[in-house]
Chains A and B, each alone.
Chain A
Amino acid sequence: MTASTIKLNTTTEDHHIARMAAVALGLTILENAIPSPLPGVKPGLANIVTLIVLSRYGWRVAAWVSLLRVVAGSLLFGNFLTPGFFIGLSGAVCSLALLALSQHLPRRWFGPVTHSILAAFAHITGQMLVVYLWLIPHAGIAYLIPIFATTALLFGTVNGLIAARFMEETSTPSIPQLDKLPDNIPR
């Protein structure tokens, strides 16, 4: 028997998306190590990557990175197709939908902080919708909404600031290429 290899033709953009999704995935894993007082209250650090990608490469690439992160992350944590996966997916889809609109806001006045806050609110809305319509169809979960909204505003602002700071510091190529590093750096 001969070993068959499947070769996919990938473009430079594919590699770039994969690299960004991997960075987002790393932040997701990091974040899972932080204890949370209430399921759903998380900083959402991976969204920093989404924000940076959105501002540099546009919405399409940002959507790829964000959805790849959700699917690959669920495979890593073993919750693919579980309720938790659908809650996260719904949140990601809702925030991408809102980002598709908010990216057209004038850049002179609105920065990553605005996009981050709006996406955080959309994220929590998408999550609560799935929880209410599918998992807990009970009016009692309304009592948790203020907690989620407050954390969304807080972490949305913080993530937006981190993204803005990061974009300012590295306004030229996002990831240093190994072959372009100066020769005096030991490898």
Chain B
Amino acid sequence: MYAAALQHIKPGDWLTLLLGSIFVVVLTLKLWSGDLADKALIRSGGKIFREVPLSRDQQIEVPGPLGISIITIQNRRARISSDPSPRQYCVRQGWLQQAGEIALCLPNQVSVELTGSRKKYDSLNY
């Protein structure tokens, strides 16, 4: 039965099958590699405040010594949208998308780190 089916596949069809398979494998590796972050780790005062999935859009209020920082999660990205720190570095950093990216608001001791299934860096030094 298999031999009967195979005789309908012409040489060009084998080529299409091969290229199609490579395409599917590359697509799967690229989209399922885990490079895209899937969780946001929110720290306050050095302790883990909350760990939230990026799949649900939401706003989280994190208290710090200066006041409240607001973290927005939208469309699988995260950012600090409001912070009482004087220089606003973490707010101006904008959207974080890749695993391993981090935004720090040192004066208010709040940070957001994106984590994926695989860690890109063991540690980051500033």
Contact = CB atoms under 8 A, between A and B. Distances in A.
A121 interface: yes
A145 B31 CA distance: 8
Contact of B16 (A106, A110, A140): A110
Interface residues of B, number: 22
Contacts of A153: 17, 20-21, 24
B13 interface: yes
B117 interface: no
B76 interface: yes
Contact of B17 (A105, A142, A157, A164): A157
Interface stretch (B3-11, B42-50, B61-69): B3-11
B83 to A, nearest CB: 25
Given A146-B27, A157-B17, A110 B55 contact: no
A109 B17 contact: no
A143 B32 contact: yes
A126 B88 CA distance: 43
Contact of A161 (B8, B32, B75, B76): B8
A55 interface: no
B86 interface: no
A165 B12 contact: no
B16 A118 contact: yes
B123 interface: no
B125 interface: no
B23 A117 contact: no
B12 A138 contact: no
Given A139-B75, A140-B76, A150-B24, A111 B31 contact: no
Interface in A130-170: 138-140, 142-143, 145-146, 149-150, 153, 156-157, 160-161, 164-165, 168
A124 to B, nearest CB: 11
Contacts of A105: 12
6 contacts: A111-B12, A117-B17, A149-B27, A150-B24, A153-B17, A160-B8
Interface of A: 105-106, 108-114, 117-118, 121, 138-140, 142-143, 145-146, 149-150, 153, 156-157, 160-161, 164-165, 168
Given A111-B12, A113-B9, A114-B10, 14 more contacts: A111-B8, A114-B16, A117-B17, A138-B75, A139-B75, A142-B31, A145-B31, A146-B24, A149-B24, A150-B24, A160-B8, A161-B5, A161-B8, A164-B9
Interface of B: 4-5, 8-13, 16-17, 20-21, 23-24, 27-28, 31-32, 36, 55, 75-76
